[in-house]
Amino acid sequence: MVAKTRLIDILDKFKDMTIAVIGDMMLDDYIIGEVTRISPEAPVPVVNVKEERFVLGGGANVLNNLSALSCKCHSFGVIGDDGNGNRLLNELKKEKIDTVGVVIAEDRPTIVKRRIIAQHQQLLRLDWEDKKDITPYHEELIIKNLKSHLDKLDAIILSDYDKGVLTPTLAKKVIEIARENNIIVTVDPKPSNALNYMGATSMTPNRKEAMECMGLSVIEDTEKLGLELKAKLNLDNLLLTRSEEGMSIFLEDEIINIPTFAKEVYDVTGAGDTVISVFTLAAAAGASWHEAAKIANVAAGVVVGRMGTSTVTKEEIIEFYDKIYHEWK
């Protein structure tokens, strides 16, 4: 049995952990208003804007989740030499996230995803991005910056949104470095890049992503899917998220299914970022991978009950845990 005191002990160690996030950093821009009429110019709603806010997105949202849990964070990625890049850096610094590893490139814009929302519904999304691979020069800068931080790191998270930062060369080099230095390295993958992550410690795909990683359009056996993906990529373990069915953790010689406990699902935006953040951080803090998956499951249950990209605190994890568990088995 694992009691609530065990959860609190793990969460208390979060503040002593240091984690690097390498990947596609972006800003999520929310324009929020209300619709009361249709435009006379075209058959589209007119949004009367009430609020605009920027939040950290993509790999930057992973960092934001870690920071909200009192973890020390180091960011490694590429942004544009533009106003949005400055805004992103300022948002990271505001959350006390180290930005020394962020490279500024003149040949690409900072990634921005602008969502227009009214009556709690997303009406439109506008994206600014350039998905081409970063240059070998920028790859080398990221590796150099990462090596200068290795002695501080407890784990590395690779956050792949397929926007060109985690090139095959960079991904494979990071995993090689992590293995050589006995550092946990976890991956939130894009299926088209799955083979870049062979030898990582763990991966956190959803079921659809796992199917795409294996080149499948239909599956009958989720457990077989997870086992085959884990073996194909030579992972120590695999955390497969299954939407309303919960999660499955594939360990060395065991598969454990964890049911979901979300009361209401308003928005799954950024939920994957929360899962890999909490999963990795808990494991780095001494939790077993099974325990780490359970804590990540609780954290995901909190954030999907909110609109938009969100984070979770230790206090919220404990509060939600109290509602769904009396003890772990």
Looking at 3.40.1190.20, 2.40.30.10, 3.40.50.970, 1.10.3720.10, the CATH number of the domain 4-324 comes to 3.40.1190.20
Q: What is the pLDDT of residue 270?
A: 59
Average pLDDT for 59-74: 96
pLDDT at 245: 84
113 near 29, Cβ under 8 Å?
yes
**At 86, phi and psi to the nearest 5?**
-60, -40
Contact 131, 118 (CB under 8 A): no
Average pLDDT over residues 102-127: 95
Gap between the Cα atoms of 321 and 27, Å rounded: 30
Is 60:75 a contact under the CB 8 Å cutoff?
A: yes
> pTM for this structure?
0.92
Q: Give the residue extent of every domain in the chain.
A: 4-324
Reading the block at residue 289, the tokens are 């991978």
Decide if pLDDT at 323 tops 90: no
Rg (CA), the chain: 20
| Band of residue 259 on the pLDDT scale cut at 50, 70, 90 | confident
**Catalytic sites, residue numbers:** 273
Q: Rounded CA gap, 270 and 272, in Å?
A: 5
Q: What is the pLDDT of residue 217?
A: 87
pLDDT digit string, tens, across residues 204-245: 999 999 999 999 988 889 999 999 999 999 999 999 998 878
- Give the integer Cα–Cα distance in Å for 69 and 317: 10
The pLDDT, as a whole number, for residue 305 is 61
**The pLDDT value given to residue 302:** 86
